[in-house]
């Protein structure tokens, strides 16, 4: 290869790399952050009461309102959720982003929008690290008809006197999390923001843990996975784990943090269908 040809090839390669990067950035900014994926999972467990067989849970997380999620796309997501007719809706934190100017108008807009989410049994929420940037989270979430669980739990029933317990923990980074709470012997679902916290829950015999926070890394490379995840989501970065017989699902969430980019991590919600093992056979 003569020098002229070498120069030409290097120039072409640089042009190709620059153009490729621009296309990827454009995709990650404007296409990757739009739309909605509904991930559906079937969870079969012999501990689930028969009266809860077929239960539908919608899991929303990391809305980061004010970044790539605004009123218009949040309303679209809500109408998709309501079409599924869930029994339970859970939210695992980071409702808004630290960068959001949460004035009265935005606060009311959030409440009036989230209020439209419909669930036959109830809506339950925990706080995320970003929600600690002001003291409005509890007011917004409870006025949106969510039950706010902060190191607390609720016993729920479905058509029968068999019970399921829903537990919610405070944020492990910014809050005062307490794993020393006494729980029932019922089937237990725990909500928390940071998935890595599951290692501290093993003695509580939780059946199902639902978490968020990781955003799946926001930028994922096929085969390799995420390039970066925040503290609290360093160990558990994928969508599903079984840790000491506890099933954990991590939602990659809806909005963005720091960079308004998503690549191979489209905005998503999770739909779980719970089955009692005996009834399914």
Q: What SS3 class is residue 175?
A: coil
Size of the site for Fe ion (CB under 5 A): 2
Binding track over 58-97 against Fe ion, x by CB under 5 A: ----x-------------------------------x---
Stretch near Fe ion under the rule CB under 5 A, chosen from 55-63, 76-84, 165-173, 236-244: 55-63
Check binding of 194 to Fe ion (CB under 5 A): no
Least distance to Fe ion from the beta carbon of 62, Å?
4
Report how far residue 130's alpha carbon sits from residue 69's, in angstroms, rounded to the nearest whole number. Answer: 15
For residue 274, count other CB atoms closer than 10 A to its CB. 24
For strands 88-91 and 122-125, give the pairing. Answer: parallel
DSSP-derived secondary structure for 176-209: ---------SSEEEEE-S-GGGGGG-GGG--SEE
Least distance to Fe ion from the beta carbon of 83, Å?
25
Least distance to Fe ion from the beta carbon of 233, Å?
9
Stretch near Fe ion under the rule CB under 5 A, chosen from 18-26, 57-65, 83-91, 106-114: 57-65
Least distance to Fe ion from the beta carbon of 230, Å?
8
Nearer to Fe ion, 123 or 193 (CB): 193
Report how far residue 197's alpha carbon sits from residue 254's, in angstroms, rounded to the nearest whole number. Answer: 21
Nearer to Fe ion, 62 or 87 (CB): 62
If 0-12 CB within 10 Å is exposed, 13-18 middle and 19+ buried, where does residue 22 land? exposed
Give φ, ψ of 157 to 5 degrees.
Answer: -130, 155
**Which parts of this chain interact with Fe ion (CB under 5 A)?**
62, 94
């Amino acid at each position: 290869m003569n020098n002229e040809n070498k120069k030409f090839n290097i120039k072409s390669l640089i042009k190709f790399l620059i153009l490729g990067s621009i296309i990827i950035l454009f995709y990650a900014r404007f296409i990757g952050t739009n739309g909605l994926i509904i991930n559906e999972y079937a969870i079969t467990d012999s501990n689930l009461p028969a009266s809860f067989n077929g239960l539908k849970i919608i899991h929303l997380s990391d809305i980061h309102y004010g970044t790539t999620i605004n009123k218009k796309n949040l309303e679209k997501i809500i109408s998709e959720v309501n079409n599924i007719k869930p029994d339970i809706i859970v939210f695992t934190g980071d409702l808004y982003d630290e960068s959001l100017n949460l004035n009265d108008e935005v606060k009311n807009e959030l409440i009036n929008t989230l209020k439209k989410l419909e669930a036959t049994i109830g809506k339950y929420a925990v706080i995320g690290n970003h929600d600690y940037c002001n003291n409005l989270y509890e007011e917004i979430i409870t006025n949106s008809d969510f039950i706010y669980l902060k190191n607390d739990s609720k016993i729920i029933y479905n058509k029968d006197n068999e019970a399921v317990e829903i537990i919610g923990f405070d944020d492990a980074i910014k809050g005062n999390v307490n794993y020393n709470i006494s729980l029932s012997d019922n089937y237990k679902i725990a909500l928390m923001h940071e998935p890595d916290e599951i290692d501290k829950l093993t003695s509580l015999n939780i059946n199902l843990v639902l978490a968020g926070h990781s955003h799946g890394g926001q930028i994922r490379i096929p085969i390799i996975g995420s390039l970066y995840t925040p503290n609290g989501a360093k160990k558990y970065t994928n969508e599903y784990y079984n840790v000491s017989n506890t099933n954990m699902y991590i939602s990659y969430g809806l909005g963005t943090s720091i960079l308004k980019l998503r690549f191979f991590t489209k905005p998503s919600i999770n739909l779980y269908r719970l089955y009692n093992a005996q009834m399914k056979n």
